[in-house]
Amino acid sequence: MGTIGRRVAVVAISVIVSVSAGAETFGMRKQIPRPDAYGRVVMDSFATKAQVAPVVFDHWNHRNRYTCRLCHVDLGFAMRAGETGVREADNRHGLYCGACHNNKEAFGWEREERQGLTTKPVEACDRCHSVGKAITPEKDFYAVTQAMPKSGYGNHVDWLAAEAKGLIHLQDELPGITRKRKPIRYAGEVVLHAREFNMPEIVFSHTKHAVWNGCEMCHPEIFGVEKGATKYTMQDIFEGRFCGACHDKVSFPMNFDCRLCHTKDVF
Ligand code: HEC
Ligand code: HEC
Ligand code: HEC
Ligand code: HEC
Ligand code: HEC
Ligand code: HEC
């Protein structure tokens, strides 16, 4: 272990001790999900009550095509599992999942099936309402991600590199649904000071974040647009706020290597 590694390990232990109140999990997942299940959301606000199977939404199968911004800003999906309150009627009216799952952008709730000489629409509910059902998904995780650059955590895909190398192309709008917007470029790098002795500082890259998140995923709701305006601690992040609003859930996990963020040695 290098000197930074040792320091981080020491700090990690001291942080765990100092927040002993929540020390059992330290705000982190106890179980590491399989690569294909990282970023999976099971939606069941209404399904079970309405006697249909809960819905499985996988981020890997959507973030390889669309920006986070498109869904979480333009289409209005909440950043917490279960908070959107999507109803089947919304989808049929072209909102939420229905903005795409309309048999145009992606499969819909019915598909045409050939019966003799004619075709008839049959229900295709199970592709979404799949919990507890033996469904073979159209897109296999390992086949889709096979040629992508690898990482050792999360989906085991280096998403930034996959995008930078042109292996995936992120769509930031839906014709006829979202309004056209001019991309706002901002290349500022912000060095965030980790207010603790010996802890490497964090270099936050706007360029890398804006590819997926635009500006509105973070400003002004999560971070003020002024350096130092927003006060928070590592514990807040572990509890799922600030950087933790995305990291540890969909973006790379936090317990794998602290130096994925704490990159800048202060000595
Ligand atoms: C593109 C994905 C998708 C497809 C296809 C789909 N649904 Fe849903 N459906 C959802 C989502 C998301 C919810 C909200 C789940 C929740 O939070 O409980 C939902 C909820 C429901 C509910 C709960 C009650 C309510 O008012 O929302 C019913 C009933 C339902 N769907 C029936 C169907 C039927 C029947 C079909 C096929 C004809 C179907 N769905 C196809 C995504 C889908
Ligand atoms: C195709 C649409 C879509 C895209 C693209 C998308 N999301 Fe999501 N996201 C969702 C939906 C749907 C949910 C579940 C919302 C609910 O349950 O109410 C969700 C939930 C989340 C959650 C909460 C998860 C949890 O376990 O609480 C986070 C965090 C999140 N998304 C971050 C991201 C990030 C970061 C990106 C880009 C890398 C992204 N999303 C891309 C649709 C999308
Ligand atoms: C921005 C567009 C978009 C939105 C919004 C979106 N999807 Fe998708 N989704 C896609 C595309 C494109 C595919 C892959 C193409 C296909 O298989 O038709 C896909 C694939 C899927 C699959 C994989 C099915 C399989 O057999 O491989 C599921 C399940 C799914 N979406 C569920 C949902 C649910 C549930 C929601 C809403 C909570 C949602 N999607 C919102 C575009 C979207
Ligand atoms: C993933 C989250 C995220 C995204 C997306 C994001 N920012 Fe930021 N932004 C931050 C953080 C974190 C800071 C530092 C805040 C602090 O120090 O309190 C910041 C600071 C700033 C600052 C002040 C910088 C300084 O040095 O004073 C500006 C200006 C800014 N952002 C503009 C933008 C613009 C324009 C976009 C879109 C191109 C954008 N941001 C996208 C997280 C984000
Ligand atoms: C709105 C969601 C969101 C928030 C909030 C967010 N990130 Fe990210 N971050 C992403 C996405 C998406 C990526 C792409 C890689 C991935 O998904 O794992 C990323 C990648 C990164 C990377 C790798 C790129 C690089 O610069 O080398 C670092 C480091 C990082 N984030 C640090 C932070 C820090 C520190 C904060 C808080 C100040 C933060 N992030 C807040 C979504 C977010
Ligand atoms: C997603 C990015 C990210 C990851 C991963 C991350 N940190 Fe941080 N950390 C930050 C940011 C941003 C700050 C600055 C917050 C502040 O103090 O203003 C910070 C601050 C800290 C501080 C300073 C004191 C405090 O409580 O704010 C300590 C200690 C710390 N982190 C420990 C860790 C440890 C240990 C790990 C690995 C288990 C880790 N961090 C992983 C982003 C991250």
Q: What is the pLDDT of residues 136-156, one digit of tens each?
A: 999 999 999 999 999 999 999
Residue 60 has pLDDT above 60, yes or no: yes
- Let me know how long the chain is: 267
Q: What is the pLDDT at residue 13?
A: 42
Q: Which residue has the tokens 């930074």?
A: 4
Asked whether 34 and 142 are in contact (CB, 8 A), the reply is no
Take atom 30 of ligand 4 and give the residue whose Cα is closest.
225
Task: Give me the torsion for CA of 124, 125, 129, 135, rounded to 10°.
Answer: -30
- Separation CA 189–CA 215 (nearest Å): 14
For the chain, percent of residues with pLDDT exceeding 70: 88
Mutate to test the pocket of ligand 6, among 197, 234, 248, 251 (most ligand atoms within 8 A of CB): 234
> Is 229 close to ligand 4, i.e. is its CB under 6 Å away?
yes
Q: What is the pLDDT of residue 4?
A: 41
- d(C-alpha 137, C-alpha 79), whole Å: 25
Query: What residue owns the CA closest to ligand 5's atom 3?
Result: 246
Among residues 46, 119, 127, which one has the least CA distance to residue 89? 46
Spacing, Cα 30 to ligand 6 middle (Å): 19
**What are 194's two structure tokens?**
């980790």
Given a cut of 70, whether residue 103 has pLDDT beyond it is yes
CB 225 within 8 A of CB 250: no
Residue whose CB lies within 8 A of the most ligand 4 atoms, among 172, 185, 190, 193, for a mutation test: 190
- Residue 78: pLDDT band by 50, 70, 90 thresholds? very high
First-to-last alpha carbon distance for the chain, in angstroms, is 17
Residue 185 confidence class, pLDDT cut points 50, 70, 90: confident
**Averaged pLDDT score across all residues of the chain:** 88
Taking the CA of 13 as reference, the closest ligand is 6
72 lines ligand 2 (CB under 6 A): yes
Q: Which candidate, 139, 130, 264, places its Cα nearest to that of 199?
A: 264
Question: 248, 67, 250, 258: which is closest to 171 by C-alpha?
Answer: 67
The whole-angstrom separation of Cα 127 and Cα 139 is: 11
pLDDT over 60 (residue 11): no
Tokens 């086949």 belong to residue: 143
Q: Which ligand 1 atom lies nearest to the CA of residue 124? A: 37
Q: Which residue's CA is minimally distant from atom 38 of ligand 2?
A: 68
Confidence of residue 181 (pLDDT cuts 50, 70, 90): confident
Query: Ligand 2: which residue has its CA nearest to atom 28?
Result: 79
For residue 133, count other CB atoms closer than 10 A to its CB: 11
Q: What is the pLDDT of residue 28?
A: 53
Q: Which ligand is nearest to the CA of 208?
A: 5
Q: What is the pLDDT of residue 32?
A: 80
Do the Cβ atoms of 156 and 145 come closer than 8 Å?
A: yes
For position 3, what pLDDT does the model report? 40
Does position 24 have pLDDT exceeding 80, yes or no? no
Of all protein residues, whose CA lies closest to atom 29 belonging to ligand 4?
225
